[in-house]
Structure 1
Amino acid sequence: MGLSSLCLAFASMFILSKLVLSRLVMADSLQSYTPPCHDDEIFALLQFKQSFVIHMSASRCEAAAHLKISSWKSNSNCCSWDGVECDEETRQVIGLDLSSSCLYGSINSNSTLFRLFHLESLNLAHNNFNFSQIPPTVRNFPKLRYLNLSYSNFSGQVPSEVSQLTKLSSLDLSYNEDMFSNEELLRSLAQNLTDLETLDLSSINISSTTLNTFANLSHLTSLVLAECGMFGKLPFSLGNLRHLIYLDLSMNEFNGQIPSSFANLTQLTYFSLGGNYINGIIPCSLGNLTQLTILRLYQNQLSGPIPSCLGNLGKLTVLDLDFNKFQGEIPESLLNVVRLKGLLLAYNTLSGTVEFLKLLKPLPNLKWVDLSGNNLDVITETRTMNASSIPRLEMLGLGSCNIRKFPNFLRYQDTLEFLNLSRNGIHGQVPKWMWNISRESLALLDISHNLLSGLDQPPVVLPWVDLAGLDLSFNRLSGPLSVPSSQYMKFYHISNNKITGEISPLICNARSLNSLDVSNNNLSGMLPRCLGNLSSLEVLSVGNNYFHGTLPHLCPTNGSDLMLIDVSRNQLQGKLPRSLANCLRLESLVLSSNKFDDVFPVWLGTLSELKVLAMRNSGFYGAIPRHQSNHDDGFPNLRILDLSQNNFTGQFAFEFILSGKSMRGIHLDGSKYMRAFELVAVESGPGGGYYEGFYFYEYSITLMNKGLQRYFQKIREDFMAIDLSSNRFEGKIPEFIGNLKGLRSLNVSSNILSGRIPPSLGNLTNLEALDLSHNNFLGEIPPSLLQLSFLQIFSVSYNNLKGQIPVGNQFSTFEVTSYEGNPGLCGVPLPKKCSRPEGVELPHSTAEEDGVELDWKFVAAGLVSGLVVGVVLADFVTTRFSVRFIEIVALLIRLMKRMRRPRS
């Protein structure tokens, strides 16, 4: 081939390659090209975007999710926007997913959202729509198949137009305000939306609805009605719901037994009846649900043995029977469920001996185990098994399992998230290797209520990087205090030990701290000033230590989450920081037994949530100023007030401080206790399950009556008490006191109060303790106090009272000490007898004493005539006056007998 031919060949090849390359580039370009969406839908989406603001406090807002609508630009193709889905052929918007996008604002019928007429899927979950109502223009989405508005702060009734969305296959309205106040609306929805496959109405009040309402939804595969206020017995049929795969009826008020007909739901993989009032036994027919992977029956009243037929559930991964009344031993058949990942049997009455490592051997997939709170004897050591070969656990609950030393196998566990060894009587030191277990994963550690005497080489800073809660309280631990380093720390409790030293400022590195309880130790020094920087702190309990100095500024001007402050029984001095008025959520303030030097903090009266104010023996003094403004009275929610053993003077401002609706006993729930906060630790669990750890910090207080201390470990919401004793209050107790109908304890002893005991005290029918001793009260003990049928403690000793002690009811139970120091009092139980008839004061002189002779026939005739007139009158007056008349007649007869006695 010549040179020219060779060149021609190369040229041809070059031209051909360029042609092929250009076609490939063109094809690739054509393939990546996205046709634009419609202009009217671009406008609608952009206008919808403009109607909201991005607010990071919107519910469950994810860190980067708000960037979705930030990518929406007017000069770009909306089909490429985050959260927008278009039909491939028509380029119309058919899907919109703005879940967890930090949207804050309201939606109304004029929203341009409802111009997206071709929507088939709409997800606005986990935003904040500011309690707006779902607009009726939702009917503009006739093609809608998927609608999710959960956790979005909608309120008001669901519009009836939702029932027109007949193509819906998935509807989630959960965790919004009441949306079905009209039961007929829910029935209409259930009748029309017959294509529904998944329905979630969790936390929406549908209490008047029965499960039969949903019987028409024959295509349902998932039904979630958790925390809906439903009640009554479970139906013995679920109708056409044979295709259910997921059924959650938890946290309602269902009662009765589990119907055996539930075994007909043979497709179920998830079944929860937790948090109800179900009783009886587990029917063995549930063993036929062979597809079941998760069974949750926790927090009911189920009893009897755990049925061995549950061992037939070969696909089961989670069995949750916590908080019931199951008895007997753990059935061996459960060891056949080799897929089991979660075995939760805590807080029943199970008995027997459990060799823990042998329990784990046939269950290699086990991750979550909780046997706490039973009557089990758990053996944690064995010579026949290698502890290093047991499964890596994520949750282990062995509280109250009669364990006497730290389980050695724990040193090989490096994936634990939750560990509970509380209430076991474990003695000795916390071993050094404990500081190394599960350093990267441990979130909750509870070894409280044991007999631990110390910490072996404790670190200055706790080593667990993700630790959210630590409870070492109620042991015998001594030595210095280790502080948490985890930014996720929620609660840190080491109360009731013998810990010494100071609280390091390093504790303020735990920015998420909710509760700090170091009370009842031997700690000293000053409270760290930085505690006021912990904006999430709700509980601060440092009582009964040796802290000195002034109280830090705990509540900055931008507010605080503090609900309980207890600094009692220390050596704190100086003035109360006025910044406490910024603690707008404060419910309990306990300052007792310190060395403050201040007047009464009347400025705390603006705290609308304050329930408990205790300042006993704390160095406060002076008169309490009376309210002088035109605003509402102060302390509107106050229920417990203890100002005893201070140096207060003047008249007490009853009407200002005690006028709140709580003191009048209005709208208070006696079935609940005062709690500062609720910590819920939610972790992802095996098989799609979860674990919820509820933690409450309950209020407590010590009150004085008749010189005796009474400790209240828990305080009911309707408990009210006032203690003004051992001050120099003067003046009278006003009749107003009778309005405080909720009062259970009143102590005003050891003051210089005067005047009569107000009869209105008889209106306080809930009163259990009344101490008026060591004052200057005069007059009689009001007979109205006989109405106090719950009175257990009573004292009026060392006053200037006179007359007869009331007879009957609770007054027959009080001893002499309740009345001593009143020379004018007489009657039981005092040795001094009353000289005149009970309840009547006779004239000073009688006819007999004046020497007047009486004609007894005339007197008798007069009495008989009076009796006849009295009987006639009795027909015209009430029974009460009739009885009174008979009493008067009886008195006259006794008087006549007295006058007829011969003179000596």
Structure 2
Amino acid sequence: MSPSCHDDERFALLQFKESIIINWFASDDPSAYSKVSSWMTLSSDCCTWDGVQCDENTGHVTSLDLSSSYLYGSINSSSSLFQLVHLHRLNLASNDFNHPQIPSGVRQLSKLTYLNLSNSAFSGQIPSEILQLSKLVSLDLALNPLKLHKPNLESRAEKLINLQELVLSEVDISSTLPSTLTNLTSLKAIYLGNCGLHGEFPTGIFQLPNLKSLSVHLNSNLTGHVPEFNRSIPLEDLRLAGTGFSSMLPDSIGNLKSLHFFDVGGCNFSGPMPFSFGNLTELTFLDLSNNNFNRGTLSWVGNLSNLSILNLQHNNFHGHIPQMFIEGCQLSTINLNQNHFQGALPRSLANCTMLEILDIGNNHISDIFPSWLGNLPELGVLILRSNGFHGAIGKPETNSTFPKLHVIDLSNNYIIGKLPYEYFQIWKGMQSYDAGGLTYMQARVKIHIPSCGWLYTYTYQMTSTNKGIKTEYWKIQDYFVAIDLSGNKFEGEIPKIVGNLKALCMLNLSNNVLTGSILSSLVNLKNLESLDLSQNMLVGEIPPQLVELTFLAFLNLSHNHLTRTIPQGKQFLTFENSSFNGNVGLCGSPLLKRCTNLKDPPPPPSIFVENQDVVSLFEFDWKLVVMGYECGFIFGGFGGKIITKKKNDWFMKTFAIGHPP
């Protein structure tokens, strides 16, 4: 039988439990739970407690994992935690220790091989005592407001000779990357994202013989290039996004046969896409966005069987999109926005049954509306804006077409015919939503990084025009529902069924040739934040019910043929002239044109006379009339004829059909 834990270590653990409190806001991990709640009295065996492991032979506590345990409070050097001198592994990640420095007492844990304090609200300078933990194999201090200045990374890294994993993402390093890291040949993972690194990246780091994961993303002043790779390089995860890396990708990148995750988005790479990419059959994540890859097509590609994320937006790729989406396609997001792709959409996209986001906006695609995409059961966001889609949309083949669609952008194409009311009828994802939480669209398939066993969840992104402004959505809320059909040639009336799309946040039907009136049923769209019906041929009055749309932050009804009074009150008090300009028959605030046919005119305003008494303009005018009665009688006959003629001219100019006011 294994020995029980030692009394002094059991007591130290219970003391630590008493020194902190359980706060349900201290951990943001969905799988968090209070591990220390199971720790009982001195008489129990602490080796059986949650998060505690003991040596089978000695009974000493060798591993303590209290990650995501809702721990809140401060830890200092006198904490009983540092009495556990036999610890090999200590994990306090994803808690809230209220921003103390990392206690220097950590040096007492000289046997530590694994230390994880990430995302636990430690702050200040990383203490030099961590240098004394020479047996460390894995050090993770990421996602804390920490600094590593004096001593700096170079003086610390060279002493951690056994280190295999160095994770300091979000730690303020603000220095060049030391070339001495190339001497740490045991390194398997380096994560230094958003650390303020600058200068030239030592290319020798790429050649470390055991390196499987390298991330220096979001260090905008870090420059460098990707070197040639031999066949023995074991890289599985390479992230350079948001850095100053430039030049061309070497063709030898195809030698990285184990590469799962490749992200160079937002760098300065150029040139063609290497044909050897076709050898990277293990890729699950590929992001080449926001670079200057040119002269390249996608015709390298015949194997995407494992790819979940494909982001090539904002480059200079051209040619047809090849029929590269094989049966069993695992892709959950495809973003080809802002390139020079042409031709028709590849029908092989129908094989991507896990696809949730398809964005091919701002290309030169020439095709009819791809109704066949409606068979994709998970498709939630479809962006086809600024292409050459043409013809009428037509009717859906079945009532289950696009079952989860909640964002569609067809703007700036050449679509004709009536608005697709048959689709509006069956888009269930736009008719209701669950506002239970502010969750975001994320990849259903989590990316597994084999070297460290991490799971990576990709948050979806998109670009759309909202409230008249081009907007980059770095996250897409699950309940964001939008229709943008602007800049086409839709005609006819707005169908009443639009009023049933109660989850709509944004509706843009501008720049078409729509006729008829604005529907009063739009008042049912209680979540509507942006409504743009400008540049059409709509007639009639603005439904006064629309003032009840209390979330409406943007309204554009300009350049139609609307008439009568602009509704007043609530949200309508916040809209400017530009929301209503170009409607010659509209009157009332905020336009300067006053309405003359109000049924119940407002009471006359008041003025101040010399004795400071308030007098009605109405009363004041009648006093003047009485005083001037005699003069009026004399000139009344002659003046009356002039006034009658002027009023008749004004009436004809204002109300005569076909006569400009």
TM-score bracket relative to the smaller structure:
0.7 to 0.9
Q: Report the TM-score when normalising by structure 2.
A: 0.80
Give the direction of change, closer, same or farther, for the CA distance of 1:252–1:350 in structure 2 (3 Å limit): closer
Match of 2:47, SS? coil
> Deviation at 1:524?
1.0
- Could you report, residue by residue, the CA deviation over 1:112-145 in whole angstroms, capped at 9, with x for unpaired residues? xxxxxxxxxxxxxxxxxxxxxxxxxxxxxxxxxx
Task: Select the residue among 402, 406, 427 that pairs with 1:635.
Answer: 402
Contact 1:435 1:463 in 2 (8 A): no
Could you tell me which residue of structure 1 aligns to residue 115 of structure 2? 343
Contact 2:565 2:587 in 1 (8 A): yes
Query: Which stretch shifts more, 513-522 or 398-407?
Result: 398-407
- Could you report, residue by residue, the CA deviation over 1:312-334 in whole angstroms, capped at 9, with x for unpaired residues? 11222221112222221111222
> Deviation at 1:548?
0.7
Could you tell me which residue of structure 1 aligns to residue 581 of structure 2? 820
Q: Distance in 2 between matches of 1:304 and 1:386?
A: 28
Contact 2:419 2:495 in 1 (8 A): no
Contact 1:748 1:772 in 2 (8 A): yes
Could you tell me which residue of structure 2 aligns to residue 329 of structure 1? 101
Counterpart amino acid of residue 695 in structure 1: Y
Match of 2:317, SS? strand
Write out aligned runs for 1:664-743 (5 A).
Answer: 664-667=431-434, 670-676=437-443, 677-681=445-449, 692-705=453-466, 707-743=468-504
Write out aligned runs for 1:862-873 (5 A).
Answer: none
Contact 2:541 2:563 in 1 (8 A): yes
Could you tell me which residue of structure 1 aligns to residue 544 of structure 2? 783
Stretches of structure 1 that go unaligned for 5 or more consecutive residues are 1-196, 198-232, 235-249, 274-288, 684-690, 841-893
Write out aligned runs for 1:137-152 (5 A).
Answer: none
Query: Which stretch shifts more, 503-512 or 724-733?
Result: 503-512
| 2:51 matches 1:268 | no
Contact 1:465 1:486 in 2 (8 A): yes
Choose 1 or 2 for highest CA Rg: 1
> Deviation at 1:573?
1.0
Contact 1:448 1:472 in 2 (8 A): yes
Counterpart amino acid of residue 50 in structure 2: F
Q: Distance in 2 between matches of 1:550 and 1:412?
A: 46
| 2:382 matches 1:613 | yes
Could you tell me which residue of structure 1 aligns to residue 307 of structure 2? 537
Contact 1:360 1:391 in 2 (8 A): no
Counterpart amino acid of residue 298 in structure 1: S
Contact 1:669 1:717 in 2 (8 A): no
> Deviation at 1:272?
3.0
Contact 1:729 1:751 in 2 (8 A): yes
Counterpart amino acid of residue 267 in structure 1: C
> Deviation at 1:801?
0.8
Could you tell me which residue of structure 1 aligns to residue 191 of structure 2? 420
Task: Select the residue among 62, 67, 80 that pairs with 1:309.
Answer: 80
Match of 2:256, SS? coil
- Could you report, residue by residue, the CA deviation over 1:735-759 in whole angstroms, capped at 9, with x for unpaired residues? 1011111110001111001111111
> Deviation at 1:837?
4.0
Match of 1:392, SS? coil
Task: Select the residue among 405, 410, 414 that pairs with 1:647.
Answer: 414
Give the direction of change, closer, same or farther, for the CA distance of 1:524–1:385 in structure 2 (3 Å limit): closer
Write out aligned runs for 1:234-633 (5 A).
Answer: 252=31, 254=33, 261=40, 265-268=44-47, 271-272=50-51, 291-307=60-76, 308-326=79-97, 327-354=99-126, 359-361=130-132, 363-379=133-149, 390-403=160-173, 404-437=175-208, 439=209, 441-455=210-224, 458-461=226-229, 465-482=233-250, 483=253, 485-556=255-326, 558-627=327-396, 629=397, 631-633=398-400
Give the direction of change, closer, same or farther, for the CA distance of 1:263–1:642 in structure 2 (3 Å limit): farther
> Deviation at 1:355?
5.3
Write out aligned runs for 1:742-757 (5 A).
Answer: 742-757=503-518
Contact 2:342 2:363 in 1 (8 A): yes
Query: Which stretch shifts more, 513-522 or 390-399?
Result: 390-399
Contact 1:588 1:613 in 2 (8 A): yes
Q: Distance in 2 between matches of 1:291 and 1:270?
A: 13
> Deviation at 1:571?
0.7
Match of 2:426, SS? coil
Contact 1:730 1:753 in 2 (8 A): yes
Q: Report the TM-score when normalising by structure 1.
A: 0.59
Counterpart amino acid of residue 334 in structure 1: V
Contact 1:756 1:778 in 2 (8 A): yes
> Deviation at 1:484?
5.2
> Deviation at 1:680?
3.6
- Could you report, residue by residue, the CA deviation over 1:317-375 in whole angstroms, capped at 9, with x for unpaired residues? 2211122222211112221112211111112332222256x5232x2321110111222
Match of 1:525, SS? coil
Match of 1:442, SS? coil
Could you tell me which residue of structure 2 aligns to residue 177 of structure 1? none
- Could you report, residue by residue, the CA deviation over 1:668-697 in whole angstroms, capped at 9, with x for unpaired residues? 7642211124224366xxxxxxx6523222
Q: Distance in 1 between matches of 2:600 and 2:43?
A: 75
Contact 2:103 2:127 in 1 (8 A): no
Q: Distance in 1 between matches of 2:332 and 2:410?
A: 20
Write out aligned runs for 1:210-225 (5 A).
Answer: none
Q: Provide the alpha-carbon RMSD of the alignment.
A: 3.1
Query: Which stretch shifts more, 573-582 or 402-411?
Result: 402-411
Give the direction of change, closer, same or farther, for the CA distance of 1:264–1:804 in structure 2 (3 Å limit): farther
> Deviation at 1:505?
2.3
> Deviation at 1:806?
1.4
> Deviation at 1:469?
1.3
Contact 1:436 1:463 in 2 (8 A): no
Identity %: 35
Contact 1:699 1:713 in 2 (8 A): yes
Contact 1:271 1:294 in 2 (8 A): no
Q: Distance in 2 between matches of 1:678 and 1:668?
A: 24
> Deviation at 1:515?
1.0
Contact 2:39 2:49 in 1 (8 A): no
Q: Distance in 1 between matches of 2:277 and 2:292?
A: 18
- Could you report, residue by residue, the CA deviation over 1:780-834 in whole angstroms, capped at 9, with x for unpaired residues? 1112212211110111001111121111111111111101111111221111222
Contact 1:519 1:545 in 2 (8 A): yes
